Amino acid sequence: MFSMVTRFMNYGQQTIRAARYIGQSFVITLSHTNRLPITIQYPYEKSITSERFRGRIHFEFDKCIACEVCVRVCPIDLPVVDWRFERDIKKKQLLNYSIDFGICIFCGNCVEYCPTNCLSMTEEYELSTYDRHELNYNQIALGRLPMSVIGDYTIQTVMNSTQSKIYKEKSLDSRTITNS
């Protein structure tokens, strides 16, 4: 009889402990209902990229001197630079410049080491296609600037809480008052 009472007490203690755990998890669940959702509805809402985001490469044909530094510093020798030497002006003339973004690892070495700054990283990250041959951009496609996410009025931009803090700090820093 004594063993039956102790089992009943253990059963009661286990039931109370289980109810407490369920209650604690329910309190945690209710605390999460007051938070804003983290996910965004992608095609209609886009997050703003950071200032140092490495997106698609923008190329300015007029600035390029065909030095091929971008090819030498690229870990996969990706940019294709075609040029010919003009004897009358004694300089290289650029004929064709292309980058295959299906292979590019977006390391940014070409942009960093370009002596004439004809390469720059954009905020464009939507490079998906159904055919991988469409990812091979020539100098004409590389020269097009992408539409800014901020400038597109059809898309609602979403800022992360950390990004909004950074923008608030920048706006406060820009409003310095000088006594004259």
Residues annotated as binding site for [4Fe-4S] cluster?
64, 67, 70, 74, 104, 107, 110, 114
In the chain the domains, ranked by start, together with CATH numbers, are 50-148 (3.30.70.3270)
Residues annotated as binding site?
64, 67, 70, 74, 104, 107, 110, 114
Q: What is the pLDDT along the chain (180 residues), one digit of tens a residue?
A: 667 667 767 888 889 999 999 999 999 999 888 888 788 888 788 888 888 899 999 999 999 999 999 999 999 999 999 999 999 988 999 999 999 999 999 999 999 999 999 999 998 888 989 999 999 999 899 988 776 655 665 666 666 544 555 555 555 554 544 444
Go through 84-101 and write b for each residue having 16 or more CB atoms within 10 A of its CB, e for each that does not.
Answer: eeeeeeeebebeebbbeb
pTM: 0.63
